[in-house]
Amino acid sequence: MTYLLAIDQGTTSSRAMLFREDLSVAAQAQQEVPQHFPASGWVEHDPEDIWATTLATCRAAMEKGGVTAREIAAIGISNQRETTVVWERASGKAIHRAIVWQDRRTADVCARLQADGHEPLIATRTGLIADPYFSGTKIAWILDAVPGARARAERGELLFGTVDCYLLWRLTGGAVHATDATNASRTLLFDIYAGAWDDDLLRLLRVPRAMLPRVRDCAAEFGTTLPDLLGGPIAVRGIAGDQQAATVGQACFAPGMMKSTYGTGCFALLNTGTTAVASKNKLLTTIAYQLNGVRTYALEGSIFVAGSAVQWLRDGLHLIKTAHDSDDLAPTADTTQSVYLVPAFVGLGAPYWNPRVRGAMFGLTRNTGPAEFAQAALESVCYQTHDLWTAMRADWPDAVTQNAALRVDGGMAVSDWTMQRLADILNVTVDRPVIPETTALGAAYLAGLASGICPPPAEFAARWQLDRRFTPAMDEETRARKLEGWARAVKGLLASEGESVFKRSEDRFA
């Protein structure tokens, strides 16, 4: 039996999964990654924690599966995207904690880029917008914040990487500094049309080219692990950012297919094929995957808070003891109350892109309790997904007639109540696969594809298996009332910050 080892390094945990050559799960292990919040809107990870938990889970999964390095054909890596690490070329030591994708510390820098008229250049080269979500301004912040770092970077002494790149460097003992096209496309520095780092953007964001990794296909020869790490050398042959890996794992290879992953945040990708669709509704144009040098594009909508809203109920408000408790509470909520949570804990993502607003609850009464809070938290994910769904179909009307179902995955997708409510709010079919951890599955598939073990995409897609299908059951009047209430809540939040963003978005979705 030949195996594939998938590394799924996420925001809150590191996971390793062993897959058999038929892509069934043989074993897995998971460890939490400590979070650091040094200031309001700042989120950091210690790169050593990322590395230690990744290595530990790989070893644990191999031990559970009774598998040796010799039996593993390849490793595939998926990772939390945009999270930024800068380390010393000579030692591999990070010069600062990793700045996480959720971090908002460069909001002022992004506002200046917008005010100075640079956003059209950024959009036409990268498909992105000037937002602290992405890696470019994080790199510049670290170089300015750490004494002497900028000069060292100019001399070629420092390296930048997203988490995949950092892990690859550590796994290969510093022999390989490389990333894949999907992660490169999330940096604000990569021309997604030319498939290369862009000198104009490097100058604009003040990032030395010497820091940047080489960019390869998602399925490629990335390097070989040091023998002493996992009991023998193992080839690394697959890399993709977590949301793109999930797109692959969900077999969304046909234009018009859409998946939505519900983890710490929520990320929806709509495959647009070899056509890069420029969004008029503040969505992102990104690389879905790159195979054999051919780039497939997607429209993406990013929601910063999904599963972390449930974590807030548990850890912040102490209303529940486990995440599963929210599923039990939500159905018991008082139907006469209309409570809305706009979970802008770190600002709002697509289609509003406002990093300055903060979360709020609307519609509270004296009778509002834990059940209503739980329902509002779960429903907030559905409403935000509706905003993305509407914007995507406005940007690319062809998608409406091609693939109407939404494929879902991630931790929140196991909640039957939430997925049913999602189908109700969107008024579309929601399909959940047999293997919910599609991010790891996608990473394993890419590694297996490069190894000659896994079949081509069309055959892999034919093997996709449905676990449960959720069909809309809410009447139109109730749906419209709920969506109208959500729109008022978002409008109220943005108005409280003196913003006019909502007016544009409200007109767009009217």
In this predicted structure, what is the pLDDT of residue 498? 53
Q: What is the dihedral of CA 262, 245, 86, 213, to 10 degrees?
A: -160
Instruction: Read off the pLDDT of residues 101-147 as tens digits, 9 standing for 90 and up.
Output: 989 899 999 999 999 999 999 999 999 989 898 999 999 999 999 99
The model's confidence at residue 321, banded by pLDDT at 50, 70 and 90, is confident
Is residue 263 within 8 Å of 241, Cβ to Cβ?
Answer: no
Is 412 domain-assigned?
no
Mean pLDDT to the nearest integer, 312-340? 86
Classify residue 113: in a domain, yes or no. Answer: yes
**CB contact at 8 A, 80 and 14:** no
Give the per-residue pLDDT at 505: 43
Q: For 246-275, write each residue's pLDDT tens digit.
A: 999 999 999 988 899 888 888 899 999 998
Q: With pLDDT > 90 as the criterion, what percentage of the chain qualifies?
A: 68
Q: Which domain holds residue 202?
A: 3-243
Angstrom distance (rounded) from CA 84 to CA 3: 30
Burial category of 292 from C-beta neighbours within 10 Å (exposed 0-12, middle 13-18, buried 19 and up): exposed
- pLDDT single digits (tens) 211-240: 999 999 999 999 999 999 999 999 999 999
Is 330 within a domain?
no
Q: Please count the structural domains in the chain.
A: 1
CA distance 286 to 186: 8
At 203, which CATH number? 3.30.420.40
Candidate from 85-99, 195-209, 257-271, 433-447 with smallest mean pLDDT: 257-271
Task: Place 302 in a pLDDT band, splitting at 50, 70 and 90.
Answer: confident
What is d(CA 123, CA 12) in angstroms, rounded to the nearest whole number? 30
The per-residue pLDDT for 94 is 96
Q: What is the pLDDT of residue 95?
A: 97
Residue 418 token pair: 């939430």
Alpha-carbon distances, residue 311 vs 322, 323, 355, 411 (angstroms): 9, 7, 21, 12
pLDDT tens digit string along 11-63? 889 999 999 999 999 999 999 999 999 998 899 999 999 999 999 999 999 99
205 falls in which pLDDT band (50, 70, 90)? very high
User: Picking from 176-180, 243-247, 308-312, 414-418, which range would have the lowest pLDDT averaged per residue?
Assistant: 308-312
Q: Mean of the per-residue pLDDT values for the chain?
A: 90
Q: How confident is the model at residue 391 (pLDDT cuts 50, 70, 90)?
A: confident
Is there a domain that residue 82 lies in? yes
**Cα 186 from Cα 259, distance rounded (Å):** 18
Tell whether 151 is covered by a domain. yes
Confidence band for 504, pLDDT divided at 50, 70 and 90:
very low
Beta bridge partners of 5: 18, 75
Q: Is residue 145 part of a domain?
A: yes
On the question of pLDDT at 506 being above 70, the answer is: no
Whether 35 is in a domain gets the answer yes
Look at residue 439 and tell me if it is in a domain: no
Alpha helices in 259-411 (DSSP H): 307-311, 324-329, 370-395, 398-402
Residue 468's pLDDT is: 93
